[in-house]
Amino acid sequence: MNPAALRIDPARLTARLDALAAIGAIDGGGCCRLALTDEDRAGRDRVVEWMRELGLFVQIDAIGNIFGMRAGRTDAAPVMTGSHIDTVRTGGRYDGNYGVLAGLEVVRVLNEAEILTRRPLCVAVFTNEEGARYTPDMMGSLVHAGGLSLAEALAARGIDGTVLGEELARIGYVGDMAVGTIRPHAYVELHIEQGPVLDLEGVTLGAVDSLQGISWQELTIAGQSNHAGTTPLRLRHDAGLAAAAITVFLRELARKMGGNQLATVGKLDLVPNIINVIAQRATMTVDLRNTDEAQLLEAERRLAAFTADLAQAEGVTITARRLARLEPVVFDAGIADRIERVAGRLGHSIRRMTSGAGHDAQMMARLCPSAMIFTPSVGGLSHNVKEFTHAADLQAGADVLLHTLLELAEGK
């Protein structure tokens, strides 16, 4: 068969997505497979089974990353694709899963066409990408790239009090391969956009050439608990008020800085959390993002200055704990250009774009030339059971992945 005519079977890809989504299925069509839970183990088992059915050599490293290797005509460094299969608590069926299963479909197409590439191809499944149970997110790829020690990752404590290393052993996914063993020639990740740009503009694909930097902090505000009806305002040390002030400040900060600055309070807990009691303590998370490192640093500086002034004004104590800090990433321009050319050759509209979400590709970019392909998310929805991408767009992205990987593996 002429390699230029190769295409992914969309029905087969959709069937695989549906089968994986059935593991940890929740109401509304989504799924919940928090990292290293029983549901995650079942999902991993299914993907490993599919890898072996395709003749891939499966290896698992000490942080639980899974690598399915397809041999090439040489033993040169492989071209890698992949993503993750863990989800948030109210996850959809495409986030992460699409990139992994599309990679397996690429292998299946090449197997059926009896095409052996010059470089090996590798499909990766990275551990704890979402960070919904253990922080930091993108942990498996970060450990693989050397940005986080294995010992630190294994010691991470989850939101449910569990220890990551113990749960990894419990589900049977502590591999014997040393982390970072596989050093790819290139890495290309296919993913849904998780935002509204492609859907709103009616563009089929995105060639992702950069990714926002992320700053995660946890703020703990210590005030004084007191009666809500008898304590005058001037005598209050209200942790809840301080948390609200920080939340409003962050929205205004993003508006005033403009550009690509984003700020979000995603989690807020009050103690004692009683209707007629002034909050003694507030614990909240702050998510700051920007494509420009200098601007991200400036946002962090302004937040620190505001909280210092607020603590003095309200008579509370505010302490910050760093949860994660990742600088913006510029992907390989050559691979992004190649993705654009392949998409054009296959007749798909495409635009260059930045990713607002974190992905394993940003960690792999530390090791090798990397880039991403985005397909539209209808309505911009993700981390939502209603997350949806049309089958035609799923196929378009997978076809571009197929031919991009094929070119990279042939050394063209």
**One-letter amino acid for residue 401 of the chain:** L
- Residue 2's pLDDT is what? 86
Residue 150 phi, psi (nearest 5): -60, -40
Q: Is residue 185 annotated as involved in ligand binding?
A: no
Q: Does position 1 have pLDDT exceeding 90, yes or no?
A: no
Query: Within 10 A of 182 (CB to CB), how many other CB atoms are there?
Result: 20
pLDDT of residue 187 exceeding 80, the answer is yes
The answer to whether the beta carbons of residues 226 and 236 sit under 8 Å apart is yes
188, 190, 193, 197 alpha-carbon torsion, rounded to 10°: 70
Two tokens at 111? Answer: 């197997």
User: Tokens for 313?
Assistant: 């004004």
302-324: b or e for each residue (b if 16 or more CB lie within 10 Å)? bbeebbeebbeebebebeeeebb
> Residue 348 annotated as binding?
no
The CATH fold of domain 3-212+328-410 = Aminopeptidase (3.40.630)
In the predicted structure, residue 412 carries a pLDDT above the cut 80 = no
Residue 390, marked binder: no
Residue 403 in marked binding region: no
The three-class DSSP label of residue 191 is: strand
Lookup: tokens for 239? 């942790």
Average pLDDT over all residues of the chain: 97
* Per-residue model confidence (pLDDT) at position 324: 84
Does residue 194 register a pLDDT over 90?
yes
- Whether residue 387 contacts residue 244, with contact meaning beta carbons closer than 8 Å, is answered with no
Q: CA 63, 66, 70, 73: dihedral to nearest 10 degrees? A: -10
Instruction: Write out the DSSP string of 126-190.
Output: -TT-S-SSSSSSSHHHHHHTTSS-HHHHHTPBPTTS-BHHHHHHHTT---SBPTT----SEEEEE
Q: How far apart are CA 192 and CA 43, in angstroms?
A: 19
Which amino acid, residue 394?
Answer: L
Identify the pLDDT of residue 411: 87
**Cα 84 from Cα 327, distance rounded (Å):** 21
Note whether 8 and 402 are within 8 A (CB). Answer: yes
Split at pLDDT 50, 70, 90, the class of 65 is: very high
**What integer is the mean pLDDT of 149-155?**
98
| C-alpha pair distances (Å), 387 with each of 91, 92, 383, 384 | 8, 5, 7, 5
What are the tens digits of pLDDT across the range 71-83? 999 999 999 999 9
Read off the pLDDT of residues 275-302 as tens digits, 9 standing for 90 and up.
999 999 999 999 999 999 999 999 999 9
Q: Are 191 and 374 in contact (CB under 8 A)?
A: yes
* Block residue for tokens 């029905």: 11
For residues 353 and 343, give the distance between their C-alpha atoms in angstroms, rounded to a whole number: 14
Write out pLDDT tens, residues 315-373: 999 999 998 888 999 999 999 999 999 999 999 999 999 998 989 999 999 999 999 99
Return the DSSP state at 239.
Answer: H
Q: Find out whether 104 and 163 touch, Cβ atoms under 8 Å.
A: no
CATH 3.40.630.10 residue ranges in the chain? Answer: 3-212+328-410
CATH 3.30.70.360 location in the chain = 218-326
**CATH no. for 218-326:** 3.30.70.360
Find out whether 84 is annotated in a ligand binding site: yes
| Spatial distance between the Cα atoms of 168 and 82, rounded to a whole number of angstroms | 20
Region of residue 194 (left: phi > 0; alpha: psi -120 to 50; beta: else): left
| Token duo for residue 121 | 């191809």
- pLDDT of 23 > 90? The answer is yes
